[in-house]
Amino acid sequence: MFFDLNVPVSDLGLQGSVHSKKSKGKQPQQLHSVAFTLAQIKAIETRVDLLVHLGYAVIAFNQTVDKRLDPKSHVNILDSLLPQIRKRTGVIFLKRLTITLDEDSEKGFGLTNANASLVEPYDLIALTPTTATTFSLACLTHTLPSSLTAHVISLPLTLPRLPFHLKHTLVRTALKNGAVFEINYAGAIGGDGDTSQMNHVSGESGKRNWWAAAREVVRVTKGKGIIVSGGVVTDADHRAPKDVGNLISLLGLARNIAHDASASVPKSLVLRAQTRRTYRAVLSEPRLVVPNRAEEILDPAPTPQPTGDARDEGHSVNLSQVQNDSQSPPTSSENPAPHNVLNAAVSGNRKRSSDQAELDLPTSTHHSMASLGVSDGGEASQKKKKKNKNKEKAGGNS
């Protein structure tokens, strides 16, 4: 499954209906809805058919906002576009919002809790920093888990030079927080990119700038957390996923990493972007699953309770036994003394160990002991008696 997460949809030339508020005329008029013409819908349908033919299964329509997200003038044009596009089997459409940041947006570009309802309908949020300050804010602040997390950092690679240095600390922090860096291949082929973005350069100069900046991005990120998107406007500039992988491999990436830049990495990004709608980026509520064996141990089967008659009969029997035991005095055979029991146990253990040792000795061992002059207990006693008799005879003779 291949992804193209940047299909630009321009709001130029759209017909909007004005929604007037009841005020004293100080508030500017706000566009309530937009309408696409039949020609625009047909052009978008043709582009979608081309992307599906090339092999893309997930397509994200991109709406670009300049400078900052203003709730007074912002209109979600994708909500009215997606219902008009024909559904296709096996193809998923996503909605993406890209905010281009410049000097005017350094003090704030609208990603606040007050504007959370404006960005909630979008599936992806991307930031395009153009200054060092906005790049630092995008990497450190707006990649933290929240309902306003920006998971995509799209860099302006067609500019004469990057307006900021790609510091390793900022890039590592963004990657650790789950953000990815986007490379649009429109600038690599010299095509026209998203015209709604500021300071976009096309042609030969833009192509030269793109290759130099893209190599720098690959060097700093070491190939980690990179996705490749289209970002093209004309149908002739679209490329198949395999061609895009071959193109990106020229930047110094391995074949597998170039393939994952349009397959597995965007897939994990889309799944991670769904956590904006949960508390602190929690995917689901944990649920404890207890195995069947554990359930039997925790909840054993209840023992059957005896009936009333059986309970009374057992109780009477126990009382009688207790009375008989209390009346009859303990005998010595029934209750032996503790020291006698201990001595008997010790002697029994000694006898059993000696007998077992004799049984365990093999036949060869007995012969060897006999040859060495070592006899058993019976022979030793006989020799001692014989020696005593000899002493007695010697005493009598003397």
pLDDT at 101: 84
Contact by Cβ (8 Å): 115, 147: no
Residue 18, classed as helix, strand or coil, is: strand
pLDDT at 56: 96
Q: What is the CA radius of gyration of the chain?
A: 45
Place of tokens 């404006």: 118
Q: Which domain holds residue 207?
A: 2-16+30-281
Residue 227 lies in a domain: yes
Q: Residue 381 CA to chain centroid, in angstroms?
A: 83
Other beta carbons within 10 Å of 148:
19
Contact by Cβ (8 Å): 233, 268: no
Annotate 172-190 with DSSP letters as a single string. HHHHHTT-EEEEETTTTTT
pLDDT at 53: 95
pLDDT at 359: 44
Residue 371 lies in a domain: no
Instruction: Give the C-alpha separation, 185 to 136, whole Å.
Output: 24
Contact by Cβ (8 Å): 96, 273: no
Please state whether beta strands 56-66 and 92-101 pair in parallel, antiparallel, or not at all (unpaired): parallel
Which residue type does 384 have? K
Q: Which residue ranges in the chain fall short of pLDDT 50?
A: 17-30, 195-196, 310-317, 319-320, 322, 326, 330-336, 338-339, 341-342, 345-346, 351, 353-376, 398
In percent, the amount of the chain with pLDDT more than 70 equals 62
Residue 215 lies in a domain: yes
Burial of 31 (0-12, 13-18, 19+ CB in 10 A): middle
Residue 307 lies in a domain: no
Residue 319 lies in a domain: no
The pTM of the whole model exceeds 0.85: no
Contact by Cβ (8 Å): 190, 204: yes
CATH number at residue 163: 3.20.20.140
Number of domains present in the structure of the chain? 1
Other beta carbons within 10 Å of 241:
20
Residue 92 lies in a domain: yes
Contacts of 110 (CB under 8 A, 6+ apart): 68, 69, 70, 71, 99, 118
Please state whether beta strands 30-35 and 15-19 pair in parallel, antiparallel, or not at all (unpaired): antiparallel
84, two tokens:
């008009």
- Alpha-carbon separation of residue 95 from 4, 76, 274, 349, 390 (angstroms): 12, 10, 12, 86, 120
Place of tokens 């953000």: 179
Q: Which of 174, 178, 98 is nearest to 136 (CA)?
A: 174
Residue 37 lies in a domain: yes
The H helix count followed by the E strand count for the chain is 14, 9
Contact by Cβ (8 Å): 226, 184: no
Residue 303 lies in a domain: no
Contact by Cβ (8 Å): 191, 140: no
